[in-house]
Amino acid sequence: MSARINPSILSADFVNFERDFNSISNADLIHVDVMDNHFVPNLTFGLPMVARMQQITPKPLDIHLMIESPDRWAPGYAEAGAFSVTFHAEAAESPVKLARTLRSIGARAGLAIKPGTAIDSYLEVLAEFDQILVMTVEPGFGGQSLIEDTLSKVAAVRRKVDAEKLDVWLQVDGGIDETNIERVANLGADTFVAGSAVFKAEDRQAQIDNLRSLAASGIAHRH
């Protein structure tokens, strides 16, 4: 199993996306946080901007929808060519049905869980998703510190994925940096969203390589 590093462009320069995308060209995917100022208290960008991003980078886009009514809006991102579309369990009316719709369009379907949301009821339907995103901070703002209590959910998802031999990526998002990525990987994550940890680095590509190496070490030493 390899480690994937998906820099979050929430930490990028919003008027220089093309330049900033080029500065992270060794990333596995580009993580795009779509916020509607309703589900979370912040506003970023919507479908037209995401469609344009798709045109200026060869990298696959990993869309994270922090929005209300994803059942209505998420399919549009899949239709625009997004590689992966993740929506929130707390906002979706019918998570499994929406995941199946996204997959039928051709995107990977992801389910995101906020720090205060229990994972148990979703463990039984993991196979319906291509990715589970355990939020390790409250969604809505970049630059936050990782919430330790969320890591038990990472371990729980990993146990279920391994026990059933599922092809499900386990993503973490929030406060991930070089001080904790190896430990979080060791607990079960394989896909890592890093925002400020990447974009604040003087050499972003070197930092991505460093994070990937640390995560790979954590994965290699799992028990």
Banded model confidence at residue 58, pLDDT cuts 50, 70, 90: very high
Say which of 33, 36, 62, 177 is annotated catalytic: 33
- What integer pLDDT is reported at residue 223 of this predicted model? 74
Range of the domain at 55: 4-220
H or E, element range at 184: helix 181-187
44 pLDDT more than 90:
yes
pLDDT per position as a tens digit, 92-145: 999 999 999 999 999 999 999 999 999 999 999 999 999 999 999 999 877 889
Residue of 95, 91, 110, 103 whose CA lies nearest to 32: 110
177 assigned to active site? no
What 3-state DSSP class applies to 45? coil
What distance in Å separates the CA atoms of residue 136 and residue 129, rounded to the nearest whole number? 19
Active site residue 173: yes
Inform me whether the pLDDT recorded for 1 exceeds 80.
no
| pLDDT tens sequence across 17-38 | 999 999 999 999 999 999 999 9
Here the CATH number for the domain that contains residue 87 is 3.20.20.70
Tell me how many domains the chain contains. Answer: 1
Of 130, 173, 177, 190, the active-site residue reads 173
Contact by Cβ (8 Å): 218, 36: no
- What tokens were used for 110? 């992801």
Angle at 216 between CA 19 and CA 30, to 5 degrees: 25
